[in-house]
Structure formats: structure tokens, C-alpha cells
Structure 1
Amino acid sequence: MAKAIPHMPASYLTALEPAAREWATKAQASLKENPFGVPITTGGWAGSGAVLNFGLTAYALHQAFPNLVDTAPVTRALDFLHGHHPASDRSFVSGVGAVSKEVAYGSNRADFSFIPGGVVPGVLLLKPDYPETRDDWPFFWGENEYVVPEGAMYISLANAGARLAQGGK
């Protein structure tokens, strides 16, 4: 919806503002849920997709409502994906970072290798609060399977982060 703002009447922006405020409030509350400031999923599938969605939403809302949403959520999402998470310091984007996932399941199947730029689901939180991410076994699909849409989402988020780092909007 935020991408449509330049093409819509001013009333559209006014109508979206309450939703943007609500999102900003929830994003601020996520800072209290964990020290990483991003939504970490708890369930049968790890949550890199939720983190990517969080970062991309923050970027879109920052563009539309810079007074409500700052750039910090974008940076926190990228930091999490690049290794600032509860399981290890390993990047969930293969080939990105000093240490990254090098055993993952994708079109490379069972050859215990990786596809540069592939994004894995990442860390899985097991009850009560045990973070798990196996780095040596690609068959834990909820942690180590490449998720095709997440590769494209990562490229978009990385570009957004680069634009913000260069002082752009």
C-alpha cells in the first residue's frame, strides 16, 4: 500500500497513517521481546521470512512516514540475517558475511554444499527458549532449506539498506 502513495490523493496517506502508527508501536514493543529487535518465530519453521518482511515493511513505511518509522528496523533485520541472532554468528544468507550457511538444501539437494545468495529459514526457537540451527545437516528443512521468495526479499532489503546507508530514502 505504501508504494501506491505517490499515485494516490492526499486522503489515501491520511487513511494509512493509523495503520503505520500501529505498526510502529508493535515494532517498538518487539524490542522488549528479544535483544535483537525483530520478530523471532516460535514454531515448526524458523523465521527468516518474518524478519525479511519486518525489514521490508519498515523500509516502505519509513519512505511514507519518516516521522513515524525510522531506519533502525531495517538495520536490525539485516543484522539478524547477517549473524546477529541467538544461535550463532553465522549469516543465514549463503556466501554473505565472514561466516555463512555453507550446508543447505536447495536445488543442490544432498551434496552438502551451498548456493551463493540462498537464504535459509535460520534459527528455530524450541520451547522454552532454546535456539537451534544446525550448520552441518541440510535436511532440517525448517532451518536449512533455501526458500525461493526469501532470496528476492533479501535482495530488496539489502538494496534498501544500501540506499539508507548512502543517505537516501
Structure 2
Amino acid sequence: MHRCDFRLPVRVLAAAALPLMGAVTLAGCSGASQHQVIDRNVACSSCHSDEKPVYEGATVPSETVESGSRVQVKTSGAAVAVVARPVFTAEDGSGFVPVIDSSVALDGGEAVVELEDGLWALCLDEGDKARAKLVRVDSASDATAVVEL
């Protein structure tokens, strides 16, 4: 009696599907509004098969909001906003991972946050993704930016 061995075809199909599954998994890192907020002690490899490249001197996107130390956050339907440091995963600044620094309770969908000089990401954490806007803070400015998420 002849017996069919399906192990080899199954292994070949599994090996062919693995890179495709990895590509779909990594697609979430492509944009600022798509990657989840992560803790400081968590690396990209915790949710991806390998570590993402990080660009320290990435070009900051032109839509980055400029503000003094005070930033007003507005949103509808959220109770908490996340203040994060952006870790750029694209050299042109088009992609970043928001790394949590703190969270702010919103009262009626609004809050004013005091931030130190530097580049920040204000986010709404939506579980496996986040809505985020970049803010460059310069304490020499009196401006209070309004960031709507």
C-alpha cells in the first residue's frame, strides 16, 4: 500500500508564508498614527520578529506643531492622553514609535500639559495602534499650541 507523505509540502508552504506574515506584522510600524504606544523598557522586537532601525537625526516632519512649554490637548471621547518621546523608524521622519513618558487625564476631552524643551508625541493610545501628533517645545516661546487628536 502506498502512503502519501504530506510533511514536505506543508513545510514548504509554511516556509513560504512566514515572510509574508512578517511583512504584514511590520507594516504597523510604518506611520506615526499606526504604531502602538510602548513602555520605555520595551523594544520593537517585543511585537515584531526583529528590531526596527532607529534614526536619531531623523528629519522632523513639516506638520510638527511648534509650542511654548504649555500645550493644550483636545479630543473627543477619550479620557487619557499619553505624552511620549518619538523614536523615529524612518530617516525622513515619516514613521515613529511613541515611547510613553507620562499620561494626562482629560477633563471633558481637554487638558493643558507642561512639557520640557524638545520633541514630544501627544497620543491617544488605542491598544494596538495610536493617534499621535508631534510637538516641538521651546520654552523661550509664549505660544500655547492646541493639539487636536
TM-score above 0.5, yes or no: no
Give the alignment's TM-score, normalised by structure 1: 0.28
Higher helix share: 1
Give the alignment's TM-score, normalised by structure 2: 0.30
Higher RCO (Cα < 8 Å, 6 or more apart): 2
